[in-house]
């Protein structure tokens, strides 16, 4: 079942993929995201961030959470984006 | 530059704006939704026989009062960044940057999901999505639906869907996997439902009466003899021993596969059955929407009874960051009446702590009102909310901050 | 058009005199009522699939209906990434759903094709 359960709807990443990478690399939620792209999609991980933290905290001995958000907390038009990153 | 900028026009934000504006502060509220009221707009509960909590009307009343007091309201505008400058806050929105001396974050809650095979198909939606579709947009989410997840919110909303003559196949458990855990195990679900028995006016007691409260042995017996056709609440069968294992369809929802469970939650092989539905509601509970807090220096702390991570704050809705306030469901998941009462506190508190207004007894009265609303809440999302609040407000310093 | 529109309700007041407006979705003309969001207008017109997933091409519909998940995003009058659940329809509005992106050319194709 776990390979059919999509956790990150934006990137299509499954529960199995996230758990496997977390166990294999024993890494932080942030690294799992970079490796699987889960939580890195269009919505910015709004629906799945908590799940990813939870899976990682059980499959890896890294306990650091990703509660610290980065702006923008909403995807924004490209023109505005430059302004956010400039600061 | 305004005195107070409020993010979120739900009951908390609107109530705060009225208090602050009536004490002569200039106030702007920003909200990305189409209508003021936040999640209040979808709510429709019968609190006592024939006494309805009608969210649209409550929202309308708050909005009118805010207007009378000169509050400026910007709708369909998303906030994507906030930043504290020397003596003011910058709020970056899809309609430009706004400055204010004080900032109140009242962004409310977000729904949690229960991932399962097929849940990306069109026609699968959160239970709150169905509530907004019927009660705010006046459109049915479909002809016949099924609800996955048994909790206070899904029960309340099922009735609202029934009022619109929408056919519901029943409440079912999600499949048991790593992310659904407690919400997928018959015994823990039953146990959780028993704690909702104060929902008595909401009919749940009928079921509660059949399943003696708090007695593990009786609960286990109840599970063993749980009727196969379920127990109805508001004409919708509640199944604690059936789970949906997949949602099926080629381009949209056509059916779900359900399976019978033993009392211990294991699947009974060969009991799979396909039920035709055209929509599916997922109800995984609510959590505070704290993403904007994550951009500030304010600490978040995990308190399960409040729904997850909440910003550390005082009972008067101040935070440890100067001129930053929080109110409503961002501080913990509770009913709209509590959120509204917290908004009143935040509005007064901002006047006192950021604008040197004299501290008369209005603040204490408002805080007392929050406690009262909490104690009397008809819809409670967690049985230990008071404990969570006590932990946050009186033992501050002893808890480990995230 | 299906009969999903709720016209009377035992408790809620349903506004009755809403004017009919029209908009296009992927080039096809549809009717809506003033005050509808793009997502609710599509639903009464029998359309659940609002976009295609950019990589897999799977159809996607609304999920949260309150602007949190971005599953319902569309291009409105050439502005990309608008959430159809919190964007009201206006008369003559042009709505396009995002489509599966073409898979990148293979190297040889790019060189010789
Ligand atoms: C889907 C859902 C259904 C619910 N149903 C019920 C129910 O039936 N009964 C009940 O008692 N409680 C229900 N609740 C709980 C509800 O949160 C409270 O009842 C109450 O509405 C909380 O009030 P609030 O003012 O804190 O937040 P809300 O009412 O949620 O208002 C917050 C507002 O902030 C806005 N916002 C958030 N982030 C941003 C941003 N970045 N930029 C701009 N605007 C933003 C939102 O658009 C929203 O209008 C529900 C919650 C949800 C999420
Ligand atoms: S359905 Fe979630 S943003 Fe529109």
| pLDDT reported for residue C64 | 97
pLDDT at residue C3 is higher than 70? yes
Between CA B173 and CA B233 the distance in angstroms is 16
* Secondary structure (DSSP) of B86-100: SSSEEEEETTEEEEE
Q: What's the rounded Cα separation, in Å, for the pair B151 and B204?
A: 11
Longest dimension (CA), chain B: 71
Residue of B nearest to C44 (CA): B139
Task: Give the distance from CA B402 to its chain's centroid.
Answer: 22
Taking the CA atoms of residue B114, residue B117, residue B123 and residue B124 in that order, the dihedral angle to the nearest 10 degrees is 0
| Residue from B293, B347, B296, B277 nearest B318 by CA | B347
pLDDT along chain B (402 residues), means of 10: 98 98 98 98 91 96 98 97 95 97 98 96 98 98 97 93 97 95 90 65 49 66 85 89 97 98 94 98 96 93 92 97 98 97 98 94 97 90 90 64 40
The mean pLDDT value for A44-73 works out to 76
Task: Answer yes or no: do A12 and C80 touch at CB < 8 A.
Answer: no
Q: What pLDDT, on a 0 to 100 scale, did the predictor assign at position A79?
A: 46
Q: Residue A65 has what pLDDT?
A: 56
Q: How far is the CA of A76 from the centre of ligand 1 (A)?
A: 22
Mean pLDDT computed over A11-32: 92
Q: Which residue has the higher pLDDT, C99 or B179?
A: B179
Q: List chain B residues with CB under 8 Å of C61.
A: 121-125, 252
B130 alpha carbon to ligand 1 midpoint, in Å? 15
DSSP letters, chain A, are -GGG-EEETTTTEEHHHHHHHHHHHT--HHHHHHHH-TT-STT-STTTHHHHHHHHHHHSS---------S-SS---HHHHHHHHH-
What is the reported pTM? 0.93
**pLDDT for C108:** 41
pLDDT digits (tens, 9 = 90+) for C60-76: 999 999 999 999 999 99
Report the pLDDT value the prediction gives residue C79, as an integer from 0 to 100. Answer: 93
What is the structure's pLDDT at C112? 36
Return the pLDDT at B341. 98
B251 touches chain C (CB under 8 A): yes
Which residue's CA lies nearest to atom 14 of ligand 1? B39
Strand locations in B213-348, DSSP E? 231-233, 236-248, 255-260, 273-276, 279-282, 286-288, 300-303, 308-311, 324-326
What is the C59 CA–ligand 1 centroid distance (Å)? 28
- Spatial separation of the C-alpha atoms in residues B325 and B334, rounded to whole Å: 18
> How high is the pLDDT of residue B185?
93
Q: Is the CB of B10 under 6 A from ligand 1?
A: yes
């Amino acid at each position: 079942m776990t390979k059919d359960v999509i956790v990150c709807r934006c990137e299509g990443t499954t529960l199995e993929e996230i758990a496997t990478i977390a166990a294999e690399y024993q890494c932080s939620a942030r690294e799992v995201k970079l490796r699987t792209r889960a939580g890195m999609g269009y919505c910015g991980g709004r629906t799945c961030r908590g799940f990813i933290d939870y899976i990682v905290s059980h499959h890896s001995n890294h306990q650091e959470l990703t509660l610290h958000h980065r702006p923008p907390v909403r995807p924004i038009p490209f023109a505005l984006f430059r302004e956010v990153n400039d600061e | 530059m305004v005195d107070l900028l409020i993010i979120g026009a739900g009951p908390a934000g609107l109530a705060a704006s009225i208090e602050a504006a009536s004490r002569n502060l200039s106030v702007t509220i920003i909200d990305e939704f189409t209508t003021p009221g936040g999640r209040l707009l979808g709510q429709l509960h019968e609190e006592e026989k024939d006494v309805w909590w009608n969210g649209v009307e409550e929202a309308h009343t708050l909005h009118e009062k805010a207007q009378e007091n000169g509050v400026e309201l910007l709708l369909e505008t998303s906030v994507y960044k906030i930043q504290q400058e020397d003596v003011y806050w910058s709020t970056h929105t899809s309609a430009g940057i706004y400055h204010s001396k004080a900032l109140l974050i009242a962004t409310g809650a977000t729904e949690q999901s229960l991932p399962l095979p097929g849940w990306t198909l069109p026609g699968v939606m959160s239970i709150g999505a169905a509530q907004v579709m019927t009660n705010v947009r006046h459109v049915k989410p479909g002809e016949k639906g099924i609800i996955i997840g048994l909790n206070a919110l899904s029960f309340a909303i099922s009735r609202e869907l029934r009022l619109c003559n929408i056919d519901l196949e029943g409440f079912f458990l999600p499949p048991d996997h790593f992310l659904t855990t407690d919400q997928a195990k018959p015994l823990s679900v039953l146990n959780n439902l028993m704690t909702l028995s104060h929902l008595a006016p909401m009919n749940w007691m009928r079921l509660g009466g059949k399943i003696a409260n708090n007695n593990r042995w009786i609960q286990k017996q109840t599970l063993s003899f749980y009727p196969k056709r379920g127990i109805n609440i508001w004409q919708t069968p509640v199944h604690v021993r059936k789970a949906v294992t997949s949602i099926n369809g080629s381009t949209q929802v056509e059916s779900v596969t359900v399976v019978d469970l033993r009392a211990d939650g294991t699947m009974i092989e060969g009991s799979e059955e396909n039920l035709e539905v055209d929509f599916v509601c997922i109800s995984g509970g609510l959590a505070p929407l704290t993403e904007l807090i994550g951009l500030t220096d304010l600490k978040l702390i995990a308190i399960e009874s409040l729904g997850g991570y909440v910003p550390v704050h005082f009972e008067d809705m101040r935070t440890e960051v100067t001129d930053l306030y929080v109110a409503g469901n961002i501080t913990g998941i509770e009913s709209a009446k509590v959120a509204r009462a917290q908004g009143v506190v935040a509005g007064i508190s901002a006047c006192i702590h950021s604008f040197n207004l004299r501290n008369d007894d209005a603040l204490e009265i408002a805080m007392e009102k929050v406690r009262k609303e909490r104690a009397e809440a008809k819809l409670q999302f967690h049985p230990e909310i008071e404990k969570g609040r006590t932990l946050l407000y009186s033992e501050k310093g002893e808890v480990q901050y995230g | 058009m299906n009969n999903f529109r709720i016209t009377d309700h035992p408790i809620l007041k349903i506004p009755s005199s809403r004017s009919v407006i029209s908009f296009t979705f992927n080039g096809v003309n549809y009717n809506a009522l003033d005050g509808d969001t793009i997502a609710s207008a599509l639903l009464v017109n029998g359309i659940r699939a609002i976009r295609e997933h950019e990589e897999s091409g799977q159809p996607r519909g609304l999920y949260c209906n309150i602007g949190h998940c971005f599953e319902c995003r569309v291009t409105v009058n050439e502005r990309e990434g608008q959430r159809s659940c919190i964007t009201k329809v206006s008369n003559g509005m042009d709505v396009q759903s995002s489509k599966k992106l073409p898979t990148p050319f293979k190297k040889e194709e790019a060189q010789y094709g």
